[in-house]
Structure 1
Amino acid sequence: MFQTFEVTARPEQGPPRLAALRAEMAADGLDGYLVPRADAHQGEYVAARDARLSWLTGFTGSAGFCVVLEGKAGVFVDGRYRTQVKAQVADVYTPVPWPEVTLAGWLKEQLRRGSRVGFDPWLHSVAQLRDARLALEGTGIALVAHDNLVDRIWEDQPGPPMAPARAHPLEFAGESAADKRRRLAAQLAEAGQKGAVLTLPDSIMWLLNIRGSDIERNPVAQCFAVLYDTGAVDLFITPAKVADLADHLGSDITVWPPDAMIDALEVMDGPIRFDPASAPQAVAEALGSRGVEGPDPCLLPKACKNAAEIAGSEQAHLRDAAAVVECLAWLNAQAPGTVTEIDVVRKLEACRRQDNSLQDISFETISGTGPNGAIMHYRVTDETDATLEAGHLLVLDSGGQYLDGTTDITRTIAVGEVGTEEKAAFTRVLQGMIGMSRLRWPRGLAGRDIEAVGRMPLWRAGQDFNHGLGHGVGAYLSVHEGPQRLSRTSDVALQPGMILSNEPGYYREGAFGIRIENLLVVQEAKPLPGGDAERSMYDWRTLTWVPIDRRCILADRLSAEERDWLDRYHAEVFKKIGPRVDADVRAWLERACAPL
């Protein structure tokens, strides 16, 4: 269940693969070629067949792209991956800090007027290409749709995923697929639109109450769909994947093979909505003037979990917490220097597998000790596996995919006695996490309006971290789910039922890393005495119940309110999780949850 299909280039493979791609560019008269970390669905995660960036460069991060020119090949990565990319790519590639350096800005510096840069129109969204072309206006540098050159040279490229889809029970979905379709179809009709093209698999999974296994760690089936204003759906998917779902899908769902979609789009009556943020350029070109831009109609309804989805997530988090607590108790009993990062990964996954409702882990477990902990999305391998030594911190970020919910939790754990500097940074990260957990805010605010709360203790010390404070999480769907985020770039208003992570961190390259993460759900806040009765306020309900390592805390630096929050949190952890673990683990948990 937990095996990964490796398609990543080793350092010695980078130069010949890059040379082969450049030969194809030269043969086709191209001066450059774009290789994104994307598939035709523009999701964060890709199947082995679509891992072109990793196959070409060796970079395994979940965001980024490569621009191959005749004399230079830039690998563009954001702040999460600046350390990782240097360790993964061969020296024929040049890491580029993105988005500080934009695609257009870099091309302007590297290319002459009249240059042609090719791209696969299935692998780039409408918005991405429009922004880049606008920024290149007047330069004479053209972005041109082209065949996929990586597919030409990738001789042993895996085939497309073919796992069967399955029905998602109504008891967990909380709303029938028919009711969802009617609700969204009415919105399309009200907007005067005949239909909407859905290109994100998790949107289609949510809409039709189905799940799949095409993408590792994500319960989705790769497919496209068109939802019409009548509530009917054309589903473009390999028919064999849904061969057993005829009764579940019903007569209003028509199944077509994926290669029939472009022909269908070209003859549809408009207007047909597509989301420029996620629809590939090929979809917009097929729709032509009949296409109208608008958000994926499933995004917000999917993000605002219903009562059944929230209840399921709560139960999944309780069972998941018991597994994590069992692992932490085991780890506490191991002497420094006797276990490695991989040992911890294996133990934690074994603890989770004791729950029969576990379908998969929700992402590759991050287990990074010492300097590896400073790599934000570190993924341990046999080559990098480090021993947990006394004085180190271990960043353990993991999650599970359960039938009733998706979990994501990070704890930073002391290995023996850690230094004062590490404790001071840990305490500031904890204060940021507590500050966000305690927050109340007026209705209408977005992630960008409140995420600074989780950074303020670090800012006061002249420190920060290069990732968002939090991301949305699905209900037995993608562990990273939009459109809601706790990010300085997110303008999506937070609404009740949205589940988000709260995960401030601190990373000192070559030394240590720290991250503490709970999942929270937005809810209506109870009125307070003296508050404005007419002003609607929101706050959080915590979903994650695992102790925070008290050995890393400088307790005298916490305020009385922060100490009180942590003591109440730990008391609730012991109350909820203590009955779910055996006596030895419960004894450890009681000590771990003792008041400061």
Structure 2
Amino acid sequence: MFQSFEVTARPEQGPPRLAALRAEMRRAGLDGFLVPRADAHQGEYVAARDDRLAWLTGFTGSAGFCAVLQEAAGVFIDGRYRTQVKAQVAQEFTPVPWPEVSLADWLKDQLHQGGVVGFDPWLHTPGQLAKIEEGLQGSDITLKRSENLVDRIWADQPPAPMGEAQVHPIAFAGESHDDKRKRLAETLREAGQKAALITLPDSHNWLLNIRGQDIPRNPVAHGFAVLHDDGRVDLFMSAAKLAEVQGHLGEEVTQLEPDTLPDYLEQLEGLVRLDQQTAPVALADILGERAVWGEDPCALPKACKNDAEIAGAAEAHLRDGAAVVEQLAWLDAQPPGSLTETQVVQHLEELRRRDESLRDISFETIAGTGPNGAIMHYRVTEETDSVLQDGHLLVLDSGGQYLDGTTDITRTVAIGTPSPEARAAFTRVLSGMIAMSRLRWPKGLAGRDIEMLGRLPLWMAGQDFDHGLGHGVGAYLSVHEGPQRLSRMSMVPLQPGMILSNEPGYYREGSFGIRIENLLVVQEAPEVPGGDAHREMLNWRTLTLAPIDRRLIDVASLAPEARDWLNAYHRDVAEKIGPRVSPAAKLWLDAATAPL
């Protein structure tokens, strides 16, 4: 089973923990200490044992870090979390808008006379370290490797996760791990590298066709892997986790205990590829001059799904879409004022769990009504649980981890009668979502080249949102997958087989939030009938199938081509999902997908 440990911290717990950390800093001769939301594997999601940022500060977002000094403690958060952080941290912690304010600039502003700032080299990458040190040039501030001071004061720190690994069947993987290992080993030989050190759990889990239970909502097994240029793999993962998969792994995959990795690397000969964005500094230190920088060899092949993975994702979305339609029909039948956010979350999760292939939800379900909808990654708690009232919008963002695919869908729903202001903003968000869905683009373009299309209707009204337009999604793996993104920061060319989200939004703090999200897969674009194509083009195939709330659409403001796309999409939803739902939900679906 997935680990049940969870780190929660009330704001009032932060000050005494902060004081204890500062005492440890003084004992260690440090003027500062960095506390990232990271583990040694550098995945986005961390086990409870590694959630030091949440334990210290109370902030539970999926990205951020804290820089603790003797007189200041900055919690660095991006635009997604600037509303959330205010409610989660005590006044002793100061939210810092990041990346607008860099860590280096903040440190120079706070440590005028210089100082020594400690960091755990297992929790930072060489790329991160180099950027900070570059920003500190010309100051008297230095960074120093240190043991983890938070671990010294965290008396009831949870144990390391020890979930059992399982085989990911070839029917869903589409390629044997033997073929994957040999295919990727060839790239090492071509580069003159003897091995690659793989730290990301979703990378080596994909490579070996295994899945795990170390992180709730993300079916990965923690460990490290060394891929050799002959296709062999040394897997640094506890033997207790691998009891069910030893026969599957075979003789060319050797199990070793994780604590033997440093000594192993000391003896490893030849050039070893490290990804400076995902490998811990500690491992680069051990390898020294034998380390060569290069991309994680699994990252791009994993992102470009094969036919079996795409077929599995499509089938998972059909079943998931049926659950979502049942939820939306049920929700629409409840009068305003009769439901709470918690009831919405529980009902949707119950519907998904009727599917025997569901292994978990893919992230904590977001059900934010009214002002809570403006918190982009809102998670309902006993203290914040709110009633769905007339005139509210409900942002419902959820997904499932099925054996054949991972889903992620957001729908914004009108509760009672929506305001004209909300309908206008919703229509702009919808227009951007449709514009991206309809797009054809030349091969070679990256997310940064096209993501503005999903923002344009909002920009024209002087509005925007503070998250990326879309993220990559795994194949029964992490719901957030790199390296592909629809983001102004992404330079990775989009390629056939990549699955990404398309999720523009708009958030008015204290009032309402809007987000509409579908998952799309990149494919070769068919030729335009009668056209004179002179360049290879790509386009999207939409995987997500669930209606979009017609009550929130200002039809007069929707361009004719956008209206035509939506009507066609709704026909597709009705045809494919209608036979899979209850008679009552089918009646609701027919009305919800009627042409505009």
Same-fold call, TM cutoff 0.5: yes
Q: TM-score range by the shorter chain?
A: over 0.9
Q: Which stretch shows the higher mean deviation, 238-247 or 385-394?
A: 238-247
Within-5 A mapping of 1:57-456? 57-456=57-456
Partner residue of 1:5?
5
Cα displacement (A) at 1:112: 3.4
How far residue 543 of structure 1 moved from its aligned partner, in angstroms, is 0.1
State the SS of the aligned residue for 2:82.
Answer: helix
Q: Secondary structure at the match of 2:300?
A: helix
User: Residue 359 and residue 229 in structure 1: after superposition, are their counterparts in 2 closer, same or farther (change >3 A)?
Assistant: same
> What is the distance in 1 between the residues matched to 2:250 and 2:509?
54
Residue type at the aligned position of 2:151: D
**C-alpha separation between the residues in 1 aligned to 2:110 and 2:418?**
47
Out of 339-348 and 5-14, give the one that drifted further. 5-14
Alignment partner of 1:525 is 2:525: yes
Please name the residue that 1:503 is paired with.
Answer: 503
Q: Note the alpha carbon deviations across 1:388-436, whole angstroms, 9 max, x for none.
A: 0000000000000000000000000000001000000000000000000
Q: 1:44, 1:352 → 2: CA distance?
A: 24
Q: Secondary structure at the match of 1:296?
A: coil
- Closer, same or farther: CA 395–4 of 1 in aligned 2, 3 Å: farther
Q: Equivalents in 1 of 2:246, 2:71: separation in Å? A: 53
Q: Which amino acid aligns with 2:480?
A: H
Q: 3-state DSSP class of the match of 2:144?
A: strand
Question: TM-score, normalized by length of structure 1?
Answer: 0.99
- Secondary structure of 1:391's counterpart equals coil
Q: Distance in 2 between matches of 1:532 and 1:14?
A: 64
Which stretches in structure 2 are left out of the alignment for 5+ residues? none
Ranges in structure 1 where 5+ consecutive residues have no aligned partner: none
- Match in the other structure for 2:24: 24
Equivalent residue of 1:386, what SS?
coil
| Cα deviation 1:173-214 (Å, max 9, x = unaligned) | 000000000000001001000000000000001000000010
Distance 2:245 2:547 in 1: 42
Could you say what secondary structure the match of 1:66 adopts?
strand
Opposite residue 276 of structure 1, the aligned amino acid is Q
Deviations 1:360-396 (A, max 9, x none): 0000000000000000000000110000000000000
1:577 match: 577
Q: Secondary structure of the residue that 2:595 maps to in structure 1? A: coil
Give the corresponding residue for 1:15: 15
Tell me the equivalent position of 2:555: 555
Q: Deviations over 1:237-294 (max 9, x none)?
A: 1111002222100000111000111111111112000000000000100111000000
Residues of 2 paired with 1:344 and 1:102: CA distance? Answer: 39
Residue 532 (structure 1) shift: 4.3
Residues 106 and 283 of structure 1: CA distance in aligned 2, closer, same or farther (over 3 Å): same
Residues of 2 paired with 1:44 and 1:124: CA distance?
13
Query: Hey, what does 1:480 align to over in structure 2?
Result: 480
Q: Tell me, in whole angstroms, the C-alpha distance in 2 between the residues paired with 1:547 and 1:529.
A: 29
Q: 1:130 aligns to what SS in structure 2?
A: helix
Aligned positions, number: 596
CA contact (8 A) 2:473 2:479 kept: yes
SS at match of 1:548: coil
- The letter of the residue matching 2:213 is S
Distance 1:29 1:139 in 2: 19
Q: Report the alpha carbon displacement of residue 135 of structure 1 after superposing the two structures with TM.
A: 1.2
Shift of residue 138 of structure 1? 2.1
Instruction: State the 1:170 CA deviation.
Output: 0.1
4+ long deviations beyond 2 Å: 1-6, 529-534
SS class of match (1:95): strand
Letter in 1 for 2:201: P
> What is the CA RMSD across the aligned residues, in angstroms?
0.9
Query: Take 1:488 and 1:240, find their aligned partners in 2: how far apart are those partners?
Result: 43
- Report the Cα distance in structure 1 between the residues aligned to 2:279 and 2:327, rounded to whole angstroms: 41
- In the aligned structure 1, how far is the partner of 2:494 from the partner of 2:125? 25
Shift of 1:3: 8.9
Q: Distance in 2 between matches of 1:583 and 1:215?
A: 37
Aligned-pair CA distance for 1:6: 3.0
Contact 2:217/2:361 (<8 A) preserved: yes
Superposition deviation, residue 134 in structure 1: 1.4
Contact in 2 for aligned 1:2/1:361 (Cα 8 Å): no
**Percent of aligned pairs sharing the same letter:** 70
Deviation at residue 113 of structure 1 after TM alignment:
4.0
Distance in 2 (CA, whole Å) between partners of 1:55 and 1:520 is 36
Give yes or no for contact 2:2–2:215 (8 Å, CA) kept in 1. no
The CA deviation at 1:530 is 5.0
| SS of residue paired to 1:26 | helix
* C-alpha deviation, 1:114, in angstroms: 4.2
Q: Is the contact between residue 8 and residue 56 of structure 1 (CA under 8 Å) also seen in structure 2? A: no
The answer on whether the counterparts of 1:321 and 1:546 sit within 8 Å (CA) in structure 2 is yes
Distance 2:88 2:374 in 1: 15
Distance 2:515 2:212 in 1: 31
Query: Would the aligned equivalents of 2:108 and 2:114 in 1 still touch at CA under 8 Å?
Result: no
- CA gap of 1:68–1:371, structure 2 versus 1, over 3 A, is same
| Matching residue's letter, 1:572 | D
Counterpart of 2:218 in 1: which secondary structure?
A: coil
Write the distance in 2 (CA, Å) between the matches of 1:86 and 1:101: 17
Find the aligned partners of 2:424 and 2:93 in 1 and give their Cα distance.
37
Q: Would you say the 8 A contact 2:2–2:214 is kept in 1?
A: no
CA deviations over 1:536-562 (Å, ceiling 9, x no partner): 000000000000000000011111111
Q: Secondary structure at the match of 1:60?
A: coil
Q: Normalising by structure 2, what TM-score?
A: 0.99
What is the distance in 2 between the residues matched to 1:246 and 1:320?
32
Which amino acid is the alignment partner of residue 103 of structure 1? L
Cα shift at 1:533 = 3.4
Aligned to 1:331, the other structure's residue is in SS state helix
Cα shift at 1:353: 0.4
SS in structure 2 at match of 1:18? helix
> Which AA in structure 2 matches 1:462?
G
Distance in 1 (alpha carbons) for counterparts of 2:64 and 2:270: 34
